[in-house]
Amino acid sequence: MMPRDTNAMGTIFGGAILSEIDLAAAIEAQRHWEGRVVTVAMDGVEFHHPVNVGDLLSLYTTTESIGCTSVRVHVDVWARNRFGAGGDMRVTEAHVTMVAVDENMNPTAISEAPRS
């Protein structure tokens, strides 16, 4: 994480981490749908540890479910101190619902075959 992402406390702004969660969820959802996806909901976000400038942020995703037009993704967020002190820390997790949309931004059905 970079200095531009800091808050008034000198740690990484939670909104910057939420943005990374959103991107990770979209990438996971696009394993199942080649078109556009948009975020409809992000549930269960509670920050357990601060993230510092220079920390390496790792996001791990799994598909929880696939609906007619949506993909629900679980995202785990971990941070590693840039100097290796303290080991990896679990920062937060989120459950993100992404919806497949057409060119007019209307929900569209997700095909049965997953993208390779």
Could you tell me if 21 and 45 are in contact, meaning their C-beta atoms sit under 8 angstroms apart? Answer: yes
Give the domains, in start order, of the chain with CATH numbers.
3-101 (3.10.129.10)
Confidence at residue 112, expressed as pLDDT on a 0 to 100 scale: 53
Q: What is the pLDDT of residues 46-97, one digit of tens each?
A: 999 999 888 999 999 999 999 999 999 999 999 998 777 778 999 999 999 9
pTM of the model: 0.89
6-20, 58-72, 100-114: least confident range: 100-114
Confidence at residue 115, expressed as pLDDT on a 0 to 100 scale: 54
pLDDT of 41 above 80: yes
